[in-house]
Every structure is written in structure tokens, then in C-alpha cells.
Amino acid sequence: MTALAGLYAITVDGTRGDTLYSQVESALAGGARILQYRDKSGDTLRRLTEAQTLLQRCNAHQALLIINDDIELCRRSGAHGVHLGREDRDLPSARKILGKDSIIGVSCYNDLQRAHAAADQGADYVAFGTVYPSSTKPSAVNAGLALLREARTALDLPIVAIGGITPENALPVVEAGADMVAMIQGLFGQEDIYRAAENTSRLFKPF
């Protein structure tokens, strides 16, 4: 399985069809190693079709597809895993449905104890954020570089950092101990998505 390390691209909610596929292809070609499909709409059939298409693209680039929130969509599409937030199903329930081989990540915001609990329940990775002010979630709690350094010392599983990260400010995040840097607008809001992905991917050691 592809390592849980490198650029973690998260699709922009509301980006659909050919535009979605084109943006994702640029990010994957530029070196994104993990892609999270994020679509909060209720269009079940379209979301399944898009997830299955994105899975094909990810497999072609030896990247991982993670589904945001939706355990059933993850199961039906065959995606590599799911990412769970505070309001989603609990991790043990997700594991029972998806099986031991699926990747399950958990949002821990700025809460190190939540990360310890997730690790104890068998999470494959934990995510902290926002690291920097975020245009996607302007009211989100702050989880700065000091917390990342503390988490890196305290935890044995991969760490994702998210929130306001761009190719220009990602290096301190990697140096603080993040195994993956998650980008939404910092990647898909760039004029040249391929170059943004490439520049970010260069910050990581080969894996």
C-alpha cells in the first residue's frame, strides 16, 4: 500500500464532473499521494460515479482515495478509506463496516487527547488543524506548529496537518513533524495545480 505520507489533496466541495477530474489529474500528476473526495451534496448516484472515477485515477498514479465522512460511499466505491470528523460515525463502527484493511483517519482539531483515543481505537492516521488561518473554515480552532511538534513526539501513527497550508508555507509544517500536508484552496485554488502539487511534494523525503 502507498505510504501515508506526502501531499494530501482535498477536493473542493461543489467541484464536479470534468472540472473535478481535470483538477485531480493535475494534482496527482504533480505528486499528490492521497486524495480526499469531499462532496456534501445528497446526489448519491453522482457521488458514487465520481468516487469510482477518482479511484481509477488514484490507482493509475499509485495514490490513495479517501472518502470524506461517508462510510457507505467508501464501501460501495471501493475507495481505500474514509476520514471521520467529530459529527460522523464512530471509528469502531466504521472499522466493522469497512474491514481491517481500510484506512480510517480521524480529525482531532487541536485536541491531543482525541488523537490518543483515536490511536487506541485503531485509527490509521490523525489530522490536526487549522495550522494557519483558513479561508475554507475561517472559524475553525487553531492547531499551530507547537501542537504538531508535541503530537509528533507523543504519537506513533501518521499525522496530517490541515488549514491554510500552501506550497509557500508548507515547509515549517513538514519540519514540525507532519507526515502529510492537506490542501484544499492552497492546491486547487492555484492557477497551476500541477506546479503547486509538485512544489509541495518536493518538501517530503522519498517514500
State the binding site. Answer: 36-40, 68-69, 88, 107, 134-137, 164
Cell numbers for 52: 469510482
Distance CA 178, CA 79 (A): 23
Does the active-site annotation cover 107?
A: yes
Q: Binding site residues for Mg(2+), as ranges?
A: 69, 88
Distance CA 126, CA 108 (A): 6
Residue type at position 70: D
Per-residue b or e along 155-168, where b marks 16 or more CB atoms closer than 10 Å to that residue's CB: bebbbbbbbbbbbe
Q: Which of 33, 38, 47, 95 is catalytic?
A: 38
Q: Which of 26, 77, 102, 107 is catalytic?
A: 107
Does the active-site annotation cover 38?
A: yes
Q: Label residue 177 exposed, middle or buried (CB < 10 Å: 0-12, 13-18, 19+).
A: middle
33: nearest Cα among 151, 157, 137, 160: 160
Residue count of the chain, please give it: 207
Q: Which of 76, 89, 114, 137 is catalytic?
A: 137
Measure the CA dihedral 59/187/107/62, to 10°: 10
Residues with catalytic annotation?
Answer: 38, 107, 137
